[in-house]
Amino acid sequence: MRPPAPVRAPAPGSRLRLLSVLAAGGAGLALAALLLAPRPAPPGTLLVLVSSPSGGSIAATPLEVGGRRLTLAGAVPRAPGIRTVARLTLPAAGYALRVGGRPPVPPVAVRSGQVEPVLIAVDGGGVAAGGVYAGAEQVSLGLQELGGRLRRLDDFRLLDQDGRLLDRAALAGRDTVVAAFHTDCRETCPLYTGLLLQLRRSAPEVRLVEISTDPARDDPAALAAYRGRVGADWTLATGDPSELGRFWAQFGVPLAVGDTHTSVLALIDRHGYIRAAYSGVPDLGGRLPDALSSGLSPAGRALLSGHGEGWGAPQVLDSLRAISGRSEPLPGGSPAPDFSLPGLDGHPITLAGLRGRPLVLNFWYSSCPPCRQEMPLLQRTADANPAVALVLVDHLEEAGPASSFAASLRVTAPIGLDRDGAVTAAYRVAGFPTTVFIRADGTEEGRFPGALSAQVLSAHIAAIAGG
């Protein structure tokens, strides 16, 4: 039996080589761990801008974001001019932004390696009610609004059902649906209230307001009784005849005279600007709660069962999504309905006669505030893109109002008179304005409900001109 081999200690040089190998291996592992370890995302930049509808300055106003406190002060340029007041480097995250001690606006998203702009609107030396625009699209909208491209809701002083003041500032911060009504109406007004009940279920984040057109009968007590009777949880408002008259005049709505009144529903964005309008009878699917249907006259019941004029809660929700920047493009690709309209200049306008050119088809009427707001943009865009046809379809009006409207805004694009609303119905248009974009081959590329922005319009122009 062979004895076991003796265990020998390594030579001193061998020991050093072993230690160096182990040390090198440890360093390699440490380096590998360092390389494989997740690296923190690079920060982003929050760019704070100020602008004003009339220029001027802002008194010292605190701004808090991400644990930092700044002071806004100094000169403010007139829109579309802007001044950068702060450039903050922040970790990528959502940040609540508080201006002037007011409740924070919805979180502002700062993205890694990107610049996120925030525009603060200044009016009368301070921050305007609802005057914070976050993100590139909202900043662009803000400059249009402050620059007068969109119409701001006129200031007003009304009383709600509890006798409390309701003014323009009270509507800031949330998109708002405003409907005309009066409590003794037995035809369209109960349908508008029923529509608001549907919107409350589908869009609880939207503010709902019904404002009377009959100051003689609708005092706060009458509004409170109506509110309780029909189960409304939103604001109802009234006022003296002069104040109500001024409020509704901006929508082309006269005050009620007996049973004669005008029905309209308007969408006001969170910054206080008029963005879309609906008129006529909504489609409620033939259904109305008993508290409302029991008060309908025979004419009102006929309106309910007749499904209105082709618009209802789904179309209003589409417009609200567009206003909030959450709108998804409506499907296109189907052939555009053929049409033939008498032109304001006496020449007929037909889809067949426009075939072979990209077409922008805009539906409007003369007393619609957002239609007036966007019309100069449409005309400028048509002038800059002569290969693209622009046709303006005037809904349910004669030549007189259309001609006055065109002359006041220096509109030269062809205007077609849709006197019976047949073309508007064929294109499934509910609210005004609505713009339909048609490719040269006659297929729809898409549509947009509400007043257009330059960015939305240019994107669709590029799509149809290149298609």
Q: Give tens-digit pLDDT for 375-414.
A: 999 999 999 999 999 999 999 899 999 999 999 999 999 9
Helix (H, G, I), strand (E, B) or coil at 275: strand
| CB contact burial 343-360 (16+ within 10 A = b; e otherwise) | ebeeeebebeebeeebbb
Helix (H, G, I), strand (E, B) or coil at 273: strand
What integer pLDDT is reported at residue 38 of this predicted model? 61
Report the greatest alpha carbon distance in the chain: 127
* Mean pLDDT computed over every residue of the chain: 86
* pLDDT tens, position by position, 72-101: 999 999 998 999 999 999 999 999 889 987
DSSP 23-90: HHHHHHHHHHHHHHSPPPPPPEEEEEEEEBSS-EEEEEEEEEETTEEEEEEEEEPBTT--EEEEEEEE
- Determine the Cα–Cα distance for residues 337 and 77; give it in Å rounded to an integer: 47
Position 202 pLDDT exceeds 50: yes
- Determine the Cα–Cα distance for residues 376 and 391; give it in Å rounded to an integer: 14
DSSP 325-387: T-PPPPP--SBPPP-EEEBTTSSEEEHHHHTTS-EEEEEE-TT-HHHHHHHHHHHHHHHH-TT
- Determine the Cα–Cα distance for residues 73 and 65; give it in Å rounded to an integer: 17
- Determine the Cα–Cα distance for residues 324 and 271; give it in Å rounded to an integer: 11
For 361, residues 6+ apart whose C-beta sits below 8 A from its C-beta are 336, 391, 393, 427, 435, 436, 437, 438
- Determine the Cα–Cα distance for residues 379 and 328; give it in Å rounded to an integer: 25
What integer pLDDT is reported at residue 26 of this predicted model? 54
Banded model confidence at residue 28, pLDDT cuts 50, 70, 90: low
- Determine the Cα–Cα distance for residues 195 and 288; give it in Å rounded to an integer: 9
- Determine the Cα–Cα distance for residues 344 and 341; give it in Å rounded to an integer: 9
Helix (H, G, I), strand (E, B) or coil at 201: helix
Question: How confident is the model over 24-41, as a mean pLDDT?
Answer: 57
- Determine the Cα–Cα distance for residues 342 and 108; give it in Å rounded to an integer: 49
Q: What is the pTM of this model?
A: 0.69
Element (H or E) spanning 457, and its range? helix 454-465
Banded model confidence at residue 104, pLDDT cuts 50, 70, 90: confident
